[in-house]
Amino acid sequence: MLKFHWHKKILSTPLQLTAGIFVIWAGALVAITLVYPKPAIIMDENLEKFRELTASDPLFYDPAMDAGFLQESVAEMKHQDDLILYVDRMFRPNGDPKYRDVFPEEWRLWPDEFLATLPYIHVATKKFLDAPSREGALILLDWHEKSAASYKKAIDLHIQAMENIFRANPKVPKTKIIFLGSGTTPEIVYNDFRLIQKNALKLAEEIAQRKQCLYYGRCLTENRDPIPVNTGIGSLSEHIPFEPLPNEILGIKPEDKVFGPYWAETPCFGRENNLPIKHPFYIKKMPFTYKNFWLKAKLTNQKYYRDYSVMPDQLEAKFGLQHGIKVWPHFETNDYLCTDLRYLTDLYNQFLIKNGVVKNEKLATLPYLIQNTLAFGWFTIYYPTAIKNTQSPFYLLTARSSYSLYFGTFSPAIWRVSETPQFLLRQTFDTKSGYITYSDLLKKLNYEKILDLNKLPPLFKEIYTGAKK
């Protein structure tokens, strides 16, 4: 049994992050001085135009961001990504031969290198806006270029991987991947990747324009409003009334810190008249070392369960059935149960605004999104270890990459093209096989038996880690 050591480390407090960046700034200044062709003098007028542009249309920046929390969260994400890749490379030779070499050498599940630049951009942007200077402007542009380059590299590698999969198996592109009332195909995901690649080129173009603004006063985007993100969600979507299940069914204890309801439009749980549905959600504070909490969203009116009786051959089901467990409560807002996760940014943003965070570019939700991803990403490490095989590569790229979040499709501070990724098939599907709703489960079990499901011990650690309850 492989043993993995989860390394949780506080990288820095916000003060230490600020102090640390001066070292990086010093290095960046030397690089800029030696490499960048720039005018001998940056005019005060141009510097002011660049400052106004940075303030009115920020790039990779959200004034409400907790940069220290983001830095720590990205470091944890990188560590988990390392383990996922380690396990995948260990067991991929045991899998389907045609998929053995589909991932490029530098491919990663998440764009951690890009995300790691954002805390530094936050500090550089804030410092420049607080005290504009020529050096600060050059440092900020340098970070913009680093961030855009790592963004493009990450999506280019996703595209290469998907193209390798398509060449290995031409039937894959049209394969339907079903979630909890929604579905997608690798072809849709690939087309979304190409649109993200287009956005990467747009980011590079935007940065080049900002350099022209600073150096020569050619501010083509002067006085332009930030580009809105077209969510593709219309005002005619069905609004679900707040009719919550009992707290005891939802697993909410009296001592839990639960907030809401908050409403968010999403097609993840089906559509009405081909439009997304606006659902009510609760937000639950979960314990965390740095900020003492992370956030978990959950539907108020519905709950989902795993039904092992319809999937008895799967490892998890076999283990559950051996222990007399036929049904298991399951979070419906885990990343891998939808490819359009922008509704989570809406929910977290509502919570943050309600709790004192000023109106923002939604990037402030990133550390909370990352913590939600990591909380359930362990399966991608331990499941292959348990079965001595790997998961399908197109499953990792579609359902596990959370690309709707980590390439910034939800924020105008990153998303600069007018088109919106499709993410999902525009139709409603029956709930994914192996899952059952509370409403349907109530037809099979009485209330008391369903309630008892919340008392089940965490047996499934035994499957993947060998840990005893």
The answer on pLDDT for 314 being more than 50 is: yes
Round the average pLDDT of the chain to a whole number and report it.
86
Q: List the single range of 191-200, 201-210, 455-464 with lowest mean pLDDT.
A: 455-464
Q: H or E stretch including 214?
A: helix 186-216
Contact 437, 303 (CB under 8 A): yes
**Whether the bond into 261 is cis, omega within 30 of 0:** yes
Report the alpha-carbon distance of residue 202 to residue 186 in Å, rounded: 24
* Res 388: pLDDT: 86
Report the alpha-carbon distance of residue 48 to residue 198 in Å, rounded: 30
Q: List the single range of 49-53, 116-120, 303-307, 314-318 with lowest mean pLDDT.
A: 314-318
Structure tokens at 296: 């978990």
* Res 117: pLDDT: 98
- pLDDT digits over 38-77, tens only? 555 899 999 999 999 999 999 999 999 999 999 999 999 9
The answer on pLDDT for 429 being more than 50 is: yes
* Res 1: pLDDT: 45
The answer on pLDDT for 292 being more than 70 is: no
Mean of the pLDDT values across residues 30-37?
39
Neighbours of 159 (CB within 10 A): 17
- Percent of the chain past pLDDT 70, that is, above it, reads 83
Helix axes 366-375, 342-354, angle to 10 degrees: 120
Mean of the pLDDT values across residues 267-289?
90
Q: How confident is the model at residue 356 (pLDDT cuts 50, 70, 90)?
A: confident
Contact 288, 294 (CB under 8 A): yes
Q: What are phi and psi of 98, to 5 degrees?
A: -70, -15
Report the alpha-carbon distance of residue 37 to residue 111 in Å, rounded: 30
* Res 39: pLDDT: 56
Q: H/E/C letters for each residue in 264-304?
A: EEECCCCCECCECEEEEEEEEEECCCCCCCEEEEEECCCCE
Q: List the single range of 3-7, 49-53, 109-113, 176-180 with lowest mean pLDDT.
A: 3-7
* Res 239: pLDDT: 85
Mean of the pLDDT values across residues 244-262?
95
CA 432, 434, 440: angle at the middle one, nearest 5?
85
Mean of the pLDDT values across residues 295-306?
95
The answer on pLDDT for 5 being more than 90 is: no
Contact 115, 5 (CB under 8 A): no
* Res 230: pLDDT: 44
Q: How confident is the model at residue 398 (pLDDT cuts 50, 70, 90)?
A: very high
* Res 386: pLDDT: 80
Most confident segment among 229-233, 340-344, 351-355: 340-344
Mean of the pLDDT values across residues 293-307?
93
Q: What are phi and psi of 299, to 5 degrees?
A: -60, 145
Q: How confident is the model at residue 12 (pLDDT cuts 50, 70, 90)?
A: very low
Mean of the pLDDT values across residues 210-225?
78
> Residue 373 corresponds to which amino acid?
T
Q: Is pLDDT larger for residue 139 or for residue 360?
A: 139
> Residue 385 corresponds to which amino acid?
T
Q: H or E stretch including 242?
A: none
* Res 16: pLDDT: 38
The answer on pLDDT for 293 being more than 90 is: no
* Res 288: pLDDT: 63
The answer on pLDDT for 8 being more than 90 is: no
- Percent of the chain past pLDDT 90, that is, above it, reads 68
pTM above 0.75, yes or no: yes
* Res 203: pLDDT: 98
- Which alpha helices (H) appear in 355-402, and where do they start and end? 366-375, 379-387, 393-399
The answer on pLDDT for 36 being more than 50 is: no
